[in-house]
Amino acid sequence: QRIAVLREEAAGERRVAATPETVKKYIALGATVAVEAGAGIGASVSDAAFADAGAEIGPRAQVVAGADIILGIQGPEVASLAGAKPGAWLVAGLNPFAEKARMEAYAAAGIEALAMEWMPRITRAQSMDILSSQSNLAGYKAVLLAAAEYGRAFPMMMTAAGTVSAARAFIMGVGVAGLQAIATARRLGAQVSATDVRSATKEQIQSLGAKPIFVENVKGIEGEGSGGYATEMSEEYQKAQAELVSAHIAKQDIVITTALIPGRPAPRLISDAQIATMRAGSVIVDLAAESGGNVEGAVSGKTIEKHGVKIIGAKNMAGTLAADSSALFSRNLYNFLSAFWDKEAGKPVLDAEIGDAIRVTQGGKIVSARLLG
């Protein structure tokens, strides 16, 4: 098998889908690896480091020529895949809903596109889950960005010149990113509270030393749906949640929102009227800004100011920690390909549970039920 690693094309994308570590591991499986020149620069991995690991380095056309498997962080333009073997796999975060035309182009070009963000949430796929590995870093970075924009300190400080009080941070949505945001804000010395629609998170919040803020005594209170994901909540719940948040948010200095619902736009958690009740100088980071936003007015990739409150709309937060996010993403891809590596066939062979979940195109057609449905 010839595995090609492309230099990312998307503007501002610094990550790379393989590292010298995973290159060595692919070679140990019996594959050859070709890396596009400069692919690792944004993540501080030189061509020489890839070559030392055993990779062939070259321009894109040479690297892709005869490739069986092409690895990416995001999906490339279809033209970049010219010369790959018919039926070659493209393994990357493909954003199929937003990039449907590109998925059709992959199909027409005979590429078998595998959307890694559609990996099912099952125990055996945990180590292959790019959403988790990247969200974890995003949750950490969100707090650092908030701290950098905040004109006050996070920890309480007792000094000869007087006391600085601790910042109050509120984390909305306690999945992978939210848990890391709680831990990071705590480490910086903030007083942290958090909320989620899944009641299982209450204990997790407490175990990190933060205070759970939860809607109680409302019908349909449990927001945990299939696969551990959240579901959309009843109107009654949403109203109760809005009231609770209104009372709480006015006293917060830092708010980090991370709430997502798979296959749906992100839920709106904070309104402009609620922002207006916050103290001037407060900071909100909306990690869901790329998926429609939890915060009214948040713009992905921009920091805006409303009612004296800074609102940071996240964009590719994990990508700003390119070395670590690349290392984790690359391991996710290796864990995936190696788990399915069939020694006799000398190539990966997927099973139905995972294959059907992530396969977007095959045999010249779009085959994903999610995309067709």
Interface residues with ligand NAD (CB under 6 A) are 121-123, 125-126, 129, 131-132, 135, 172-178, 195-198, 223, 228-230, 233, 258-262, 267, 269
Based on CB atoms, which residue is closest to ligand NAD, 17 or 269? 269
Task: Give dist(CA 30, CA 342) in Å, integer.
Answer: 11
Based on CB atoms, which residue is closest to ligand NAD, 15 or 198? 198
Task: Give dist(CA 193, CA 126) in Å, integer.
Answer: 27
Task: Give dist(CA 152, CA 372) in Å, integer.
Answer: 50
Contact assessment for residue 263 and residue 371, using Cβ atoms and an 8 Å cutoff? no
Residue nearest to ligand NAD (CB): 175
Contact assessment for residue 21 and residue 54, using Cβ atoms and an 8 Å cutoff? no
Contact assessment for residue 175 and residue 195, using Cβ atoms and an 8 Å cutoff? no
- Report the nearest approach of ligand NAD to the CB of residue 119 (Å): 7
Residues classed as catalytic: 121, 126, 129, 132, 229
Based on CB atoms, which residue is closest to ligand NAD, 131 or 358? 131
Based on CB atoms, which residue is closest to ligand NAD, 36 or 286? 286
- Report the nearest approach of ligand NAD to the CB of residue 28 (Å): 25
Contact assessment for residue 114 and residue 90, using Cβ atoms and an 8 Å cutoff? yes
Task: Give dist(CA 100, CA 102) in Å, integer.
Answer: 5
Based on CB atoms, which residue is closest to ligand NAD, 55 or 194? 194
At 342, give phi and psi (nearest 5°).
-95, 110
User: What would the two tokens of residue 100 be?
Assistant: 């449907």
- Report the nearest approach of ligand NAD to the CB of residue 227 (Å): 7
- Report the nearest approach of ligand NAD to the CB of residue 50 (Å): 29
Eight-state DSSP code of residue 291? G
Measured torsion, CA atoms of residues 224, 228, 232, 234, in degrees rounded to the nearest 10:
0
Measured CA to CA in angstroms, residue 372 lies from 92, 367, 369 at distances of 20, 7, 5
- Report the nearest approach of ligand NAD to the CB of residue 120 (Å): 7
